[in-house]
Amino acid sequence: MFFSDTLADLVARGFILAAVGLAWVVLLIRINGLRSLSKMTNFDFIMTVALGSLLAGAAQATTWEPFGQALSAQGALFFVQWLTARIRKNSDAFEKLSQNTPVLLMRNGEFIEEALKQTRVSKSDVIAKLREANVLDYAQIRAVVLETTGDVSVLHGDSLQDALLKGTQAP
């Protein structure tokens, strides 16, 4: 691709294609905006994983065709993400169809057993998240929510506005 010497060509290809691929991703992020690599939805998470895979494929290309295909596929991912976010913003029906519902795992210091069973989340996993959130007493816990992205939000303190739990599912 670049040199007739195999070793020099391997090294040059790895460096040059990875650098060009990374610059392309940075450009796409600048065009698409800060939300590009957010983890607000399950689609965003898949996008991030797929993007990394395509970047790795581009850096390992042995000819220009797979390199170009990987870069165009990255562009397509950003376009589909932009389009999906736009449709979700304008259509409650599409948002409901494409997005999971956050699930309430704990409320007012008590585990919701049915929710843990339904989501296949163990008490020990929740307790680990409570430690990460610096919860010192179950009585401090207002709610624990398994978000649509798989993240766990721990809401603790003296009070909780019901609006923060709007849209959560509690079996």
Do 57 and 14 lie in one domain? The reply is: yes
| pLDDT tens digits, 20-40 | 999 999 999 999 988 888 877
pLDDT at 19 over 80: yes
Work out how many domains the chain is built from and give that number: 2
Do 127 and 86 lie in one domain? The reply is: no
In a domain, 134, yes or no: yes
Maximum Cα–Cα distance for the chain, whole Å?
69
Concatenating the DSSP letter of every residue in 76-143 gives HHHHHHHHHHHHHHH-HHHHHHHSPPPEEEEETTEE-HHHHHHHT--HHHHHHHHHHTT---GGGEEE
Do 13 and 72 lie in one domain? The reply is: yes
| pLDDT tens digits, 77-90 | 999 999 988 898 89
Do 28 and 89 lie in one domain? The reply is: yes
Domain stops at, among 96, 113, 136: 96
- Report the alpha-carbon distance of residue 165 to residue 150 in Å, rounded: 16
Do 90 and 16 lie in one domain? The reply is: yes
In a domain, 170, yes or no: no
Residue 135 pLDDT grade (very low, low, confident, very high; cuts 50, 70, 90): very high
Q: What is the pTM of this model?
A: 0.71
Do 79 and 64 lie in one domain? The reply is: yes
- Report the alpha-carbon distance of residue 154 to residue 138 in Å, rounded: 11
Residue 105 pLDDT grade (very low, low, confident, very high; cuts 50, 70, 90): very high
What is the amino acid identity at position 151?
A: D
In a domain, 1, yes or no: no
- Report the alpha-carbon distance of residue 94 to residue 69 in Å, rounded: 30
Do 10 and 36 lie in one domain? The reply is: yes
pLDDT at 4 over 90: no
Do 141 and 61 lie in one domain? The reply is: no
| pLDDT tens digits, 112-124 | 999 999 999 999 9
- To the nearest 10°, report the CA torsion of 60, 64, 66, 68: 110
What is the share, in percent, of the chain residues with pLDDT greater than 90? 65
In a domain, 171, yes or no: no
In a domain, 159, yes or no: yes
- Give the pLDDT of residue 85: 86
Do 67 and 48 lie in one domain? The reply is: yes
- Give the pLDDT of residue 148: 85
- Report the alpha-carbon distance of residue 121 to residue 104 in Å, rounded: 11
Residue 51 pLDDT grade (very low, low, confident, very high; cuts 50, 70, 90): very high
What is the share, in percent, of the chain residues with pLDDT greater than 70? 100
Task: Tell me what the pLDDT averaged over the chain comes to.
Answer: 91
Domain that holds residue 89: 6-96
Task: Please choose, from the candidates 136, 130, 79, 76, the residue with its C-alpha nearest in 3D space to the C-alpha of residue 106.
Answer: 130
- Give the pLDDT of residue 122: 97
